[in-house]
Amino acid sequence: MNVSPEGRPRVWKVGDSFENIAQQLIPSIKPYSPFQAKILNKLGLTKAIRSKYDHMMLQIHDAMKSDLSYQQNSPETEFKFLPGDVWACFSDQTSHAAMSGQFMMEQTYNLPIDALYEPMSSPLAILSRITKRKLV
C-alpha cells in the first residue's frame, strides 16, 4: 500500500513473463553447489540450507539486475500507485522494480504450491519443467 504523506505515486516497472525470463537467463546462471549452500548456512549467511529453487531464483534475480542487454531490451510496463492504492503481487513470478516513491507498507504470505489455483504455472513448476530437475 502506498502511504506517501506527500501525495507522491509509487512507480513500478513490471517485466516479461516469468517463463520467458527464466528461459532467457537460465543458461547464464551458476550451477547449484550443495557444498556452497552448506557453507553459507554454517557461516550464518542464510537462515537454512539454500534449495536448488532458491539458488536459481536468486541467480535469475541477480542476472536481471546485472545484464545490461536485458535491462535495455526487455519488455516492461509502468504502473503508478497513488497514495492509498493497494496492490497484490506474486513476487516470485513477477519481474518488478520500484522506480520511485517511498513510504510503502507490505505484507508477505508464503503459499504452499498445492494452495495455488494453477500450481503448474508456479515458478517452481516452470523452473522444474525447463531444467527437467526436481528443485526442492
User: pLDDT by residue (tens digit) across 90-130?
Assistant: 888 999 989 999 899 999 888 888 898 999 999 999 999 99
The answer as to whether 19 is a domain residue is yes
84: region left, alpha or beta (phi > 0 left; psi from -120 to 50 alpha): left
Rounded to 5 degrees, what are φ and ψ at 92? -65, -25
Render 101-122 in DSSP notation, one character per residue: ---B--------GGGSSSGGGS
The answer as to whether 86 is a domain residue is yes
The answer as to whether 122 is a domain residue is yes
The residue assigned the cell 537460465 is 26
The answer as to whether 41 is a domain residue is yes
Domain span including residue 68: 10-131
The answer as to whether 1 is a domain residue is no
* The pLDDT of residue 44 is above 90: yes
Residue-wise pLDDT tens digits, 7-42? 999 999 999 999 999 999 999 999 999 999 999 999
The answer as to whether 70 is a domain residue is yes
Total number of domains in the chain: 1
The pairing of beta strand 96-100 with beta strand 76-81: unpaired
The answer as to whether 20 is a domain residue is yes
- pTM higher than 0.75, yes or no? yes
The answer as to whether 53 is a domain residue is yes
